[in-house]
Amino acid sequence: MAFGPGRSVAAFLLFLNFCMYMVVLGLAGWAMNKAIDYSQANIVNQTGAVTTLTRFPVGNAATPFFLLFILGAGVLGLASILAGAIHVSLWRSESLAAAISSALIAWLFTLLAFGFACKEIQLRGGYRNRRLKALEAFSIILAGMQLLYILSLHSGMLARMGPRIKEPGYGGMAQGVEQKGGPTTGSTI
């Protein structure tokens, strides 16, 4: 069966978001690993002192918050992509609710990371290398791409070729088969 226009756009944006979320998770994982290694080296060098992740080796004061939120947004985005892939393959109204709600939650979490990325760019302090700048750029672009994906799901829902509310033979009795005994109105003990 060929994809309709709304379905093909949603599938393309789904694939694009998957690639972008994987890149975001890779870059954020690298930055978090570097920060954990840096804090572990400080704990080993300063025996007896308790050190927390307040100073990152890359970035500025907004970096720890940005990394935590972008890692969460990446994981929620991948969960959203899983629900979206199921919806695009089925293209029914029953799977539409799960796809839209998970995409909306992932987009809102990505917007939080987007805000911290903007704050990190505004502060301009610290050492922001190419990878961290790329992570900031990807989070900003991903916030817009996730919004486009949500809009494509909504437009596919409203389009003529969108998910059908009821299809013959789906979720009920087969056509032409009568039920024996009729409906029951009460229970017997």
Q: What is the pLDDT of residues 130-188, one digit of tens each?
A: 999 999 999 999 999 999 999 999 887 666 444 555 555 555 555 555 555 555 566 66
Structure pTM? 0.77
Whether 166 is covered by a domain: the verdict is no
And the tokens for 90?
């089925």
Crossing angle (nearest 10°) for helices 130-158 and 5-45: 150
Question: Domain span at residue 134?
Answer: 7-161
Q: Residue 89's pLDDT band (boundaries 50, 70, 90)?
A: very high
Whether 177 is covered by a domain: the verdict is no
Whether 189 is covered by a domain: the verdict is no
Crossing angle (nearest 10°) for helices 5-45 and 63-90: 150
CA dihedral 92, 96, 98, 103 (to 10 degrees): 140
Crossing angle (nearest 10°) for helices 63-90 and 130-158: 30
Longest dimension (CA), the chain: 81
- Total domains, the chain: 1
Whether 179 is covered by a domain: the verdict is no
Whether 43 is covered by a domain: the verdict is yes
Whether 93 is covered by a domain: the verdict is yes
Whether 88 is covered by a domain: the verdict is yes
Number of residues that make up the chain: 189
Whether 11 is covered by a domain: the verdict is yes
